[in-house]
Amino acid sequence: MLCAAGAVTAATVTGCGGSPDHSDPSDPNPSQEAAIFDLSFKIESRYRPFELVAPAFTAVTSGAGAFEGLAVSDHTPAAPFAAVEVDVDALTGPVCAGLATGDEHLLAVYDPASQRASIEVRRGGRTITVAKKKARLPASFRFAFALCENRVTVLADTGDGWQPLLSRREKVSKHVDMRVPETLRAHRYAWGAHGSAGSAELAGVRAGLFGMTGIRDQHLVQHGDGTPYVRDGKAFFTATCAGLGFFQQAHWGVFTLDLAAPTRLEQVAQLYSRRDGLLLGDHAGQIVRDDENDRWLVATSSWGDFAFDGVHVRHVVTTDDVLSGVHVLETTPTPLPTRVSSWDPGMTRIDGRWHIGFVESPSQDPFDFHPALAAAPAGADWLDGLELVGAATDLHQCEGPIIARVEDRWWFLASDGDDRRYPVYDLRMRPAGTLDAPYETNIPHPQLVPLPEDRGGGFLLVTFDGTQYAEKVMGYGGHGDVLVMRSTDAGR
């Protein structure tokens, strides 16, 4: 249940929380009764989004055919997040899939004679096998190459879904950096028989931008006033598309959620970042439609090149419709009022004042992080004159801040991995209670989704858990089952 403010231990809050300029216009006294304290959530559904080639972003499809060499398409991926799937009917030699220029390549290879899967790089006239592993596959199977950042993964499906056979990053990036735009631009989707001997009978080929092994960090796309952005009964939200590997192997996407059937999830946009001369998969942020100024505000986090030495929030303002298609974002650092690392930005304009929630992190090795809230002066643009309202510095594993309205009051929600709860603050960063909702594994973000009256009213809570994908081979980072919870009125 949501606890009254007096029944929880007060958070240590730093900043200018007592300033009248940053008061909460909707709740001068957070300890009094509020509608959010009546909400009680139960898990309604749990499902796992998983796609190697994202369905809406397939660049190449090919029917059955015999191949006696490498076929190279006319299509190149927009960022180093790509996959090629081939359906194998029969082999008289090795089969391969990947990216190639014609002269150079980066391939996943399976040789039925040696029963070996391998990753192969060809650069400057020299072919290098960077990794190999024994694998016994049947006469017919599905075979795949996946590139996430600079990490290549070889996968097979023998009837039980895609399973990774081997995966390497450092040994690949030693020879080629696919994050460099000019390098990636020269490569195109490729597949077929490997080498000069043998042939491959393929029942079909599919290639395109990489999808996800799961999703996490869901954040509603909103209008500036916090109203969810909804079209045709579908709410839009951004989410981190978990990749085949750690944080650098993830990227950002836009999805729709059918409010009438919350298990109907569709990816409608792929979002990447170009910065420091590289194409990266920065993720974890929010998109806001600023109707008054006919623009999109896009804020994300610099996880795309994370190396345990700092993360920061970045942004771009654009008139492009970032809710559909493929976008490579030219972002710049965001002037948040903090001297430490930051991530998970989210922004809402409340009574003429922009509020920006984010995470502060004084250390990433070991990880130490907590929620913080900033606000701009009344009437100022969203990043002008930001001042820190407060930060819950007594928390050390707390992220996923969400600015949410329940009836006539605004709240600042977060997720505390240590105490396994969703703390609730007012807009002065005063602790008010705890959200009554199941707290599953990892650090799920409490994204509330208000439902219209014709859908029963109340709220959904759309979040994720820590269920990994093939952790024994892939390690940490492939997590993200989707959890959908629905509210009931718990009473007091």
Per-residue pLDDT of the chain (492 residues), as tens digits, is 233 333 333 344 554 433 333 445 555 555 557 999 999 999 999 999 999 999 999 999 998 889 989 999 999 999 999 999 999 999 999 999 999 998 999 999 999 999 999 999 999 999 999 999 999 999 999 999 999 999 999 999 999 999 999 999 999 999 999 999 999 999 999 999 998 777 899 999 999 999 999 999 999 999 999 999 999 999 999 999 999 999 999 999 999 999 999 999 999 999 999 999 999 999 999 999 999 999 999 999 999 999 999 999 999 999 999 999 999 999 999 999 999 999 999 999 999 999 999 999 999 999 999 999 999 999 999 999 999 999 999 999 999 999 999 999 999 999 999 999 999 999 999 999 999 999 999 999 999 999 998 888 999 999 999 999 999 999 999 999 999 999 987 544
Give dist(CA 36, CA 104) in Å, integer.
Answer: 59
Quote the tokens at residue 292.
């008054």
Are residues 278 and 184 part of one domain? no
pLDDT at residue number 470: 97
Task: Answer yes or no: do 57 and 30 share one domain.
Answer: no
Reported as a single tens digit per residue, the pLDDT across 249-263 is 999 999 999 999 999
How far is C-alpha 243 from the geometric centre of its chain's CA atoms? 9
State the Cα–Cα distance between residues 134 and 384, nearest whole angstrom: 58
Q: What is the pLDDT of residue 197?
A: 74
Cβ within 8 Å of residue 157, ≥6 positions away:
141, 142, 144, 163
- With the C-alpha atoms ordered 52, 56, 61, 63, is the resulting torsion angle positive or negative? positive
Q: Give the tokens for residue 158.
A: 């023998």
Residue 20 confidence (pLDDT): 34
Domain membership of residue 63 as a residue range: 52-211
| Same domain as 145, residue 118 | yes
Domain check: are 256 and 358 in the same one?
yes
Q: State the pLDDT at residue 59.
A: 98
Measured distance CA(100)–CA(122) in Å, rounded? 9
Does 171 lie in the same domain as 35?
Answer: no
Domain end, chosen from 171, 195, 211, is at 211
Assigned token pair, 48: 């796992």
Q: Which of 179, 211, 243 is the last residue before a domain boundary? A: 211
Instruction: Judge if 119 and 264 occupy the same domain.
Output: no
Strands 387-392 and 151-157: unpaired
Is the domain of 44 the same as that of 138? no
CB 337 within 8 A of CB 387: yes
On whether both 447 and 332 belong to a single domain, the answer is yes
409 to each of 31, 210, 286, how far by Cα in Å? Answer: 13, 40, 21
CATH number for position 480: 2.115.10.20
Same domain, 410 and 370: yes
Domain count, the chain: 2
Domain boundary at 195, 211, 227, which?
Answer: 211
Burial letters 363-377, b for 16+ CB under 10 A, else e: ebeeebbbbbbbbbe
- The reply to whether 159 and 39 lie within a common domain is no
Are 207 and 217 within one domain?
no
Instruction: Let me know whether 464 and 394 are in one domain.
Output: yes
Query: What is the C-alpha radius of gyration for the chain, rounded to an integer number of angstroms?
Result: 24
pLDDT score, position 195: 82
CATH number of the domain enclosing 86:
2.60.120.560
